[in-house]
């Protein structure tokens, strides 16, 4: 994977997104977002599928 395509002004965007997702889990916001915000779920699943080759190194990604 070419890490440079995820960088803007030297900042790795995937690292920032990953950090923000972890923080959402730490504050117990994710269960509420999953139940109440369909757009949030759609964005996350779309992002996972768009970068499936990257994320599949870290978790199982299904097509369902």
Residues 18-64 pLDDT 10s: 788 788 878 888 888 888 988 888 887 787 777 777 777 777 766 65
Number of domains in the chain: 1
Q: What is the predicted pLDDT for the residue at 4?
A: 64
> Does residue 24 fall inside a structural domain?
yes
Q: Which whole-number Å values give the CA distances from 57 to 6, 8, 26, 27, 61, in the listed order? A: 16, 23, 23, 26, 10
> Does residue 62 fall inside a structural domain?
no
Q: What is the predicted pLDDT for the residue at 63?
A: 61
Provide the residue range defining the domain that includes 38: 3-55
> Does residue 60 fall inside a structural domain?
no
Residue 19 or 2, more confident: 19
> Does residue 63 fall inside a structural domain?
no
> Does residue 17 fall inside a structural domain?
yes
């Amino acid at each position: 994977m070419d890490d440079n395509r995820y960088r803007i002004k030297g900042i790795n965007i995937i690292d920032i997104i990953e950090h923000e997702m972890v923080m959402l889990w730490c504050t117990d916001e994710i269960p509420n977002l999953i139940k109440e915000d369909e757009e949030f779920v759609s964005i996350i699943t779309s992002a996972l599928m768009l970068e499936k080759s990257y994320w599949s190194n870290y978790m199982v990604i299904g097509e369902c």
